[in-house]
Amino acid sequence: FSQDERGMIEELAGDIGFAVNSFLQKESIVKLSYYDVLTGLANKVMLSEHLKIALQSSQNTHTKGALLFLDLDNFKSINDLKGHSSGDALLIEMALRLEHCILNQGLVSRFGGDQFAILLPNLGLHIHEAALSAEEIALKILQVSKEPFWIDGHSFYLSASIGITLLSENESCEVLMSRAD
């Protein structure tokens, strides 16, 4: 290649590198905006957006749904006794268990710290049917949260508290989240 051709190739490579880097940065920003860094679950922002969509869908289709708010009991003691890396590993394991419990029926999100929220948008046409389905899933979650967590060769036992509210198209996202909490 001539000197001019090499110069054009280097300039083109620089432009392509800049474009790829820009794309990756945008992807990173989107991921940080909507997903929890530790667990990979949806975060509060994504939960709010999905909750708005679920409320609109509920109004249009007359289906009922629920929002569950889960808090791990005495989680702070694990961080205090075994360190944050053990606590983080436990949160990751809990995230996997929650996703397994709902099997694509909704959205699992990490609300912050040791709190998770589960949106179950389409549980039935009748409020009683939705309430029973939400209760069934909550009981399944309580059961898997009681199973031992094996972290670094040690078993940890937890319990969880779950609040449930049924979706009401007349309520705001903030009110529903507060009620579930």
Query: Which is the catalytic residue, given 71, 73, 114, 181?
Result: 114
* 71 has catalytic annotation: no
User: What tokens does 51 get?
Assistant: 């909750």
User: What tokens does 45 get?
Assistant: 């922002």
* Cβ partners under 8 Å of residue 148, min gap 6: 155, 156, 157
Taking the C-alpha atoms of residue 44 and residue 177, their distance in angstroms, rounded to an integer, is 10
Question: Is 129 within 8 Å of 64 (Cβ atoms)?
Answer: yes
Question: Is 158 within 8 Å of 91 (Cβ atoms)?
Answer: no
Taking the C-alpha atoms of residue 152 and residue 134, their distance in angstroms, rounded to an integer, is 33
Taking the C-alpha atoms of residue 36 and residue 34, their distance in angstroms, rounded to an integer, is 7
Query: Which residues are part of the catalytic machinery?
Result: 114
